[in-house]
């Protein structure tokens, strides 16, 4: 008799065979066996040795493994395919370039029959820097960098309800949902997420949009640090160039999420962009030129790039709307 599946662990990967192998080695080194869980691997059209790496683990006795292949390029496509094939009541999403704590899945399993008033959970994410953490990176103080850029998601060791400080929701590298939320509220938006859009100002926030959607319907989310992972941060990801580009895509992605709201508002617009978006460029541009504080200057430079991404998405949306009409 087959055992009921409590947890489906979902990992999507694309052309990162070696990093993915490191993840699998970490995952299969966890304490205990998991006959009541499954690992769903979605290969998002990889052209490297990813499938060969997966085959090494398909016949293991520790946990049931499902290998799926998604030809549509995009993280949201891959995650949605996994959700549709998941057997568990709890779905745990994790990145392909992380190492899991030895008790991670045991901690996730506890959610199958506890904290039942919560529909979503965010585990702790600790960055593993390839090089040392840059001195100019700070998550606290007057001029912080958003933790998600690396990503990091560390708000201490106390279990507590979101929002926490300025963080409203779990993030994709270590997020957990009860399956019913997908059945009730739909799937990840496929016009968001990595490779989820042709507009280069987007490429993030499919996880954010989904959590905001269910929270807006009255569901609740819990920060759950016992489920901790360690996220690899290559040197290029901690460069100022990468972070500026990330903020640009963040601005575009957040704007795309809110188009239904923006389209209803009678804003004065230029090339589809509300004039207030251009006005929001003035302060960071001024401080970029005249501030003598390098930390403050970089903070406003990131905000400037975020607004540029937002303006790019407004214009992209406007032009495509014009074509449709």
What angle, rounded to 10 degrees, do the helices at 294-324 and 240-257 form? Answer: 40
Closest CA to 26 of 190, 222, 230, 193: 230
| Dihedral-angle region of residue 193 (phi above 0 means left; psi in -120 to 50 means alpha; beta otherwise) | left
CA 124: distance to chain centroid?
A: 13
Domain covering 7-238, topology: Spore Coat Polysaccharide Biosynthesis Protein SpsA; Chain A (3.90.550)
What predicted TM-score, i.e. pTM, was given to this entire model? 0.90
pLDDT of residue 266: 76
Instruction: Summarize the confidence of residues 238-263 as an average pLDDT.
Output: 87
Q: How many CB atoms lie within 10 A of CB 267?
A: 15
Instruction: Summarize the confidence of residues 196-200 as an average pLDDT.
Output: 48
Q: What is the pLDDT of residues 138-185, one digit of tens each?
A: 888 888 888 999 999 999 999 999 998 778 899 999 999 999 999 999
Two tokens, residue 144? 């912080």
CA distance 27 to 97: 11
CA distance 124 to 228: 5
pLDDT band per the 50, 70, 90 thresholds, residue 196 = very low
pLDDT of residue 67: 97
What angle, rounded to 10 degrees, do the helices at 240-257 and 206-216 form? Answer: 40
């Amino acid at each position: 008799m087959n055992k009921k599946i409590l947890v489906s662990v979902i990992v999507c990967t694309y052309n990162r065979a070696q990093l993915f192998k490191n993840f699998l080695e970490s995952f299969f080194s966890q304490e205990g066996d998991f006959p009541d869980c499954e690992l769903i691997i979605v290969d998002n059209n990889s052209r490297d040795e990813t499938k060969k790496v997966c085959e090494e683990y398909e016949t293991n006795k520790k946990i049931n493994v499902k290998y799926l292949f998604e030809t549509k390029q995009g993280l949201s496509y891959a995650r949605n395919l996994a959700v549709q094939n998941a057997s568990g009541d709890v779905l745990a999403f994790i990145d392909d370039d992380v190492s899991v704590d030895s008790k991670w899945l045991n901690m996730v399993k506890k959610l199958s029959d506890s904290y039942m008033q919560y529909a979503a959970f965010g585990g702790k994410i600790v960055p593993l820097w390839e090089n040392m953490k840059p001195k100019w990176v700070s998550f606290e103080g007057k001029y912080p960098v958003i933790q998600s850029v690396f990503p990091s998601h560390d708000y201490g060791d106390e279990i507590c309800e979101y929002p926490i400080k300025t963080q409203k929701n779990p993030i994709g590298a270590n997020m957990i949902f009860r399956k019913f939320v997908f059945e009730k509220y739909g799937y990840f938006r496929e016009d968001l997420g990595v490779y989820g859009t042709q507009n280069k100002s987007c490429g993030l926030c499919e996880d954010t949009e989904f959590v905001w959607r269910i929270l807006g319907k009255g569901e609740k989310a819990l920060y759950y640090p016992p489920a901790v992972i360690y996220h690899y941060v290559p040197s290029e990801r901690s460069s100022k160039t990468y972070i500026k580009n990330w903020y640009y895509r963040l601005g575009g992605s957040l704007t795309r999420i809110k188009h239904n709201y923006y389209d209803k508002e009678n804003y004065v617009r230029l090339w589809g962009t509300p004039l207030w978006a251009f006005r929001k460029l003035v302060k960071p541009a001024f401080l970029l030129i005249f501030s003598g504080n390098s930390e403050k200057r970089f903070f406003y430079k990131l905000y400037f790039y975020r607004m540029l991404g937002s303006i790019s998405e407004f214009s992209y949306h406007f032009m495509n709307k014009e074509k449709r009409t």
